[in-house]
Amino acid sequence: MRSFRHRRLTTLVALTAILVTAAPPTAASADAGRRAGYHRVGYFTQWGIYGRAFPVKKLDTSGAASRLTHVNYAFGNVSEDGRCQVDGGPGEGDAWADYQRPVPAEESVDGVGDTWGEPLNGNFGQLAKLKARHPDLKVMISLGGWTWSTYFSNAARTDASRRAFVASCIDLYLKGNLPVLDGGSGGPGAAAGVFDGVDLDWEWPNWPGEPGNVVRPEDRENFTKLLAEFRRQLDAYGRQNRRYYSLTAFLPANPAAMDAGYEGRKIFRYLDFATVQGYDFHGAWETVTNQQSALRVPAGAPDGPDFSVQVAIDSWIARGAPRGRLVLGIPYYGQGWTGVTGGGNGLFQPAAGPAPATFGPGYEDYRRLKPLTDSGFTVHRDLRAGHAWLFDGTTLWTYDDPAVVLRKTRYIRRTGLAGAMMWSLDGDDDNATLTRTISLGLAIR
């Protein structure tokens, strides 16, 4: 058995190396995954242009854009009175990053720098340029997220509030009627054509999320009604300009949250597809090291029942979700602990606290975890459960590397899912290694 497992690992790693180090593909081969019909949905974070130095241009130069079907822009905010808003006020948004910042030529997709006060600068302007270079790429505005789901319940509460909320989102993002900022950026129609649909990232209906979120028992039914209103208004607006606007949603991995907040089968009457959380099963908020994104629950896991990709997907299918419209979320980051005791390979052992990291304790991008294999960390793998972790005797990071990602594309194909989602694109390395692996893995027949 040990020899068999070793051969499987050797073959897997060798295939991954071939996929991600091959010569740059032709235009035809770069679209192989698209022709296979799988969605490849990457989140681009508004704030990634700062500490991570990840402008929209990197999606093009790394090769990621040609391997994606959708870019989800994270995030749009929801105001207390239930409206889509872009505001530069504290905690309300970052209009500077969205459409005011003059992007210099060296960061611009087409090499042309912005001029102060143009109607569409910043990330929105760069996304428009990216779409011009990749006409098949769809860009979605993702609403909410962990931090900005506070007032979703207010927006979804009544027929009137739902109509007003959806109308405000369409006006702001699809019609592109941006608030005029100091210097002149924004204005009527400034962002028209940038976004091709709406992604709802309400975390979570009728279930605790970030402290302070408004939560109501009726959120479950109101989420379905909100989707219906989005679909109605998106279709009506699409008929005006002969376009189809997509509607997607981000869904939880926790079966209890599924039951509390979602009418399983009903929501897929309105969704083009849904992305399913495939990560954060465990993390540095816990005092014992564990996996954050395993395909299956590992043998010896201390929690029962436990979370895994298979548990999440099977739970949604059992609740009526069509497997052909479920997109699996894959993390481009790791969860980490330090002060790990107990010996062995470090897994399922007590820890003193979160591992030190670049942008937040216990959370590190793949691009920064990748070099650790050359600095005293050993890669450990559980082939049956489908996960990997790094351990140096004191610090442990659970993460997805190309070998794990390739296993997950095989799972997507064999399970009949709709594709893969990545949180988030700025966590990949400069060669888009993980995104390339996903695209090519989904293209395997």
Would you please indicate which residues are annotated as catalytic (active-site) residues?
203
Tokens of 380: 């450990």
- Are 338 and 352 in contact by the 8 Å Cβ rule? The answer is yes
Rounded to whole angstroms, the Cα distance separating 265 from 326 reads: 12
Q: Which of 165, 167, 149 is nearest to 157 (CA)?
A: 165
Q: Which residues are bridge partners to 73 per DSSP?
A: 44, 141
Rounded to whole angstroms, the Cα distance separating 340 from 295 reads: 24
Sign of the four-CA dihedral 98, 104, 107, 109: positive
165: CB partners within 8 A, 6+ apart: 78, 82, 83, 84, 155, 156, 226, 229
Tokens of 350: 């007590």
- Are 311 and 255 in contact by the 8 Å Cβ rule? The answer is yes
Rounded to whole angstroms, the Cα distance separating 139 from 133 reads: 13
- The single residue listed with the structure tokens 């997709």 is 109
Q: Which of 57, 60, 62, 73 is nearest to 114 (CA)?
A: 57
User: How many alpha carbons fall within 13 Å on the CB side of residue 99?
Assistant: 28
The H or E element containing residue 189 is none
